[in-house]
Structures are given as C-alpha cells and as structure tokens.
Structure 1
Amino acid sequence: MLTVAVLLVAGVVAGIIGTAGGITSLVAYPALLAVGLPPLAANVTNSVALLGSGASSALRARSQLRDRPSPVGRWLALTVGASLCGAVLLVVTPAHLFDRVVPFLVLVGGVLVLLGPLLDRRRPEAARAGAAAPSIAAVGLYNGYFGAGAGVLMIAVLLLTGESDLPRANAAKNVLLVCADLLPAVVFAVSGHVVWSAALALGAGAVAGGLIGPTVAQRLPHAVLRIAIAVCSVALAAYLFVSGA
C-alpha cells in the first residue's frame, strides 16, 4: 500500500510538472527506482504509465491550438515514426550505450528553452527550416528510446523552428508526444519489461496531474515558465549524470 501511495502521489506531481512544460521523469523515473524497479524496467514502465497524463493534457491542449495552424499536423507522422524506431532500438540494444549522452541532451534542451527568444530572433528563417525535420526526428528517436526530457527538447525545437509562443509550443508538444508514445508503449508491453502494478498506480496519479497541468501553464508568466523548465532540466541532467556515474 505504501508503494501504491508513493507512486500515486508521484504520478500527480509528474503529470502537473510535465504538462505545464517541465519534465515528468524528474519525479516519475526516480520514484520507480525508489520502490525497487531496475533501470530498464523503470524506463519502460514510466513510458507506459505516463500515457494517461499525456492523453489528458493533449485533450486540454486543443483549445490553445485552434486559433491558427499548429505544428502538430506538420510533424506528427515524423515524430511517431522516429519514436517507434527509438523504442525498437531500446529493446534490441544495451541501454547503457545511450545513457551516457542522456544528461547532456537534457541539459542542452533546458538551455535552448531558456535562450529560445534570443536564438529565434538571430537565426535565419532558411536555417530554421533546414534544421526542423532532422531536429524533430532526433527528438522523436530520443523519446522512444529513453524519454526523460523529451518534452523539454521538443519545446526547444518547436520554439526554434517557427512557434514563437511558449504555451502553444507546450500544447503542441503535449499532442505530439502522446501520439508518439502509443506505438512504443505497445513495443514495451510486448517486450515483457513493463511492471504493470507500478504502471497502473503511477498512471492513475498522472491522469489527475495531466488535467491540472495545462491550467498551471496558462496562469504562469512566460518568463517564469521558461526558467522553471530550465531549472527542471538542469536538475534532471544532474540526477541522470550522477546516477549513471
């Protein structure tokens, strides 16, 4: 019962943090490790459990994406395909090969979010267009393989490739990543690594947190939200670096 309670609370907090633009794995992944799951099982269980918060936040995000064309339609197929490739790669190769670069990717993502407005003004439109597809594909691959910090990286890429409004970038991220997580979840379920009791407890809390998160994102000043995302990314990068070492 204590394990279930810990994972329920962690799910709520993770759902709020993630859908408000932060990093769900800052709470969810360490919580799964803390209750005794090994790293690979914690990774795939975390991915499956947080589908609920992603779905609820994606439903809430629709209102923010109606007023003008969003990047969702443009990048959905690429993100989904790349995430599926990442999930397959995870189950057929040793996880430690990618774990070494994960902290650095998360840290770079947070810095890009923080400096997004400055970089966006100085980056030529042609350069942004040329980097868009490879960047989205890279984030999708990373999301399917490991996932921790994929939301921060996706927000950073969207801000640098044409979406200037942070709440809209956050909303688009929520929709893109929940769609991209569906097929990897099937791959993980078939692989046999998911701990379903932990996934259900964490996922139930994450659904509630996912419904609250977008409201938090709308009410926070944009500058505060950027700083909060950057701080979360630095904290997770430090955690991943120390735990990996």
Structure 2
Amino acid sequence: MLSPLEALAVVAAGAGAGGVNAVIGSGSLITFPTLVAVGYPVVTANVSNNIGLVPGSVAGALGYREELTGQGTRARTLALASAGGGLTGAVVLLALPSDVFDAIVPVLVLLACVLMALQPRLARQIAARRADDAPDVGVAPLAIAFAAGIYGGYFGAAQGVILLAMLAVFVPDDLQRSNALKNVLAGTVNAVAAVIFIVFADVAWEAVALVAVGAVIGGVVGSRLGRRIPPTALRAAVIVLGVGVAVRFFLT
C-alpha cells in the first residue's frame, strides 16, 4: 500500500507520461522509474505501467481525432502489424532474459532520430520515386510497425519516436496527421500487451489505477497542446528526446 505522497507522485508521473506520449512518446521513462522508486519490483512495475498507460493512449488518440480523418484504412492496416508486434513483445518480456534486447534498444532509438532529422529530404525522395498506383502502406512501414510493436510490448519508451520517424519518412503526410496515427499505433501495442500481462503477469492494480488517472489527464492536455506545435518544432523535440533516451539506455 502506497503512502498518500507516493500515490500523488505516481498520479503526477502518469499525467506527465500521458502528455508526453500524446505529443511525442517515451512517457514510460517518467512512470516506470517512479513505480520502481516507490517500491515495485522491476517487471511488476513494467507491466503495471503498460496497463495504466492504455487509457491515456485512448485519450490522446481521441484528442487527435480530427487529424485522423481520412486515415481509417491506413490506421487499420498498420494497427494489425502493431498488434502482432505488441503480442510478440509481451511474450518476450515474460519468457526471455532482457540482456540482448536491452543492448539493441538505444541503437533503434538513435536510428529513429537520424530518420527524423533526415525526414524532409527522405520523404521528398520517396515521394518522387513513388508510383502513382503504389499502395498507401508498403512493406517497409508494416515491417517497422511490427518491429516497433515488439519493442513497445516489451518496454515501450521511445516507441513513439520510432513510429513517428517511420511514418514521417515512409507514409508521407502532414506531421501532425502522422503524430495522430502514431498515437493509434502505440495505443494498439499497449492494449494488446496489456491483455497478455493481465492474464499471465503479476499486476499491481493500485499502481495501474493511479497511473491511469494521471495518464488520462495528461493525454487530454497533451493532445490539445501537441496539435499547436509547428512541424519543425515537433521534429526537433522528437530528436532531442530520442537522443536523451538513447544516452540514458547506454549509461544504464
């Protein structure tokens, strides 16, 4: 049982994570360390954090519903790949040691940052070579959505950075519309993984409830603020946060 001060800290962390996830991603870097700091075992903190952030993902996606207009087919197609990856990642977390996967995480995040930095040029080149009858979603974004889903189901911090970089490069569109789609895909991964964790993992439901309350508040506020951020500023924020995440992983 958490003390009132510890409970308040978890709610505040959930609000911060919900807001960050709606705008960029990597909210787990706020909530996961907080849950560990108040005394939860690492794996229990990880799965409880994942479940608790699902309502915030829904709130963030609803906040971006205007930007999702016309992306129904695209969202459903990519969400299937994300769901498959999320299921795989959740099973990996519960079944295998984490050493190898943890070593790959910072490399994936840095690669996503490079993609985001080069996004305007790469998007123009891909659009110029794209056939008029090419499918809206090709093999590359589906593969990356699946891989990001594995990572998201396993841990999830910087999943949003990876997804947004992939969408910005391989699915050319306005960056805010890509951000809205990113919220749907990340939420899909979290929801699928949450089902596995509820059935098979040790869940701290007090932590889930506290994170969820904060995450919903943060998701609503974050989606409203995020829609007003210019694309260039959003791109810069993603890169800065992604590099910070990668450095943190390298140092731990």
Q: Say yes or no: TM over 0.5.
A: yes
Residues 20-77 of structure 1: CA deviation (Å, up to 9, x unaligned):
1232123122222222333322221221111011011112222111156662022121
Equivalent of residue 217 in structure 1, options 206, 226, 232: 226
Matched position secondary structure for 1:153:
helix
Residue segments in structure 2 that go unaligned for 5+ positions in a row: none
Matched, 1:164 2:173: yes
**Range 127-136 or range 49-58, more displaced:** 127-136
Worse-superposed segment, 225-234 or 127-136: 127-136
CA root-mean-square deviation: 2.0
TM-score (norm 1): 0.91
Structure 1 residues not aligned, in runs of 5+: none
CA contact (8 A) 1:61 1:175 kept: no
* Residue-pair matches, total: 243
Q: 2:62 aligns with which of 51, 59, 70?
A: 59
Instruction: Find the counterpart in structure 2 of residue 236 from structure 1.
Output: 245
The change in CA–CA distance for 1:106 and 1:137 in structure 2 (over 3 A counts) is same
Give the aligned residue type for 1:133: L
Counterpart-to-counterpart distance in 2, 1:73 and 1:185: 19
Question: Secondary structure in 2 aligned to 1:58?
Answer: helix
| 2:144 corresponds to 1:139 | no
Decide which of 49, 57, 60 is 1:46's aligned counterpart.
Answer: 49
Aligned counterparts, 1:187-202, within 5 A: 187-202=196-211
Q: Alpha carbons of 1:68 and 1:198: their partners in 2 closer, same or farther (altered >3 Å)?
A: closer
For 1:30, the equivalent position in structure 2 comes to 33
Counterpart amino acid of 1:220?
I
Query: How has the CA–CA distance of structure 1 residues 81 and 130 changed in structure 2, closer, same or farther, with 3 Å as cutoff?
Result: closer
Scaled by the length of structure 2, the TM-score of the pair is 0.89
Q: CA deviation at 1:19?
A: 0.1
Once structures 1 and 2 are overlaid, which stretch shifts more, 93-102 or 203-212?
A: 93-102
CA distance in 1, matches of 2:201, 2:36: 18
- d(CA) in 1 for partners of 2:162 and 2:119? 12
Corresponding residue number in structure 2 for 1:18: 21
Q: Quick check: 224-233 or 188-197, which moved more?
A: 188-197
**Runs of 4+ with >4 A deviation:** 67-70
**What is the deviation of 1:132?**
2.3
Paired residue for 1:155? 164
> What is the alpha-carbon distance in structure 1 between the residues aligned to residue 47 and residue 11 of structure 2?
17
SS at match of 1:71: helix
Which whole-Å CA distance do the structure 2 matches of 1:110 and 1:140 have between them?
17
Task: Give percent identity, aligned residues only.
Answer: 37
- Residue correspondence of structure 1 range 36-185 to structure 2 within 5 A: 36-67=39-70, 71-123=74-126, 124-125=129-130, 129-185=138-194
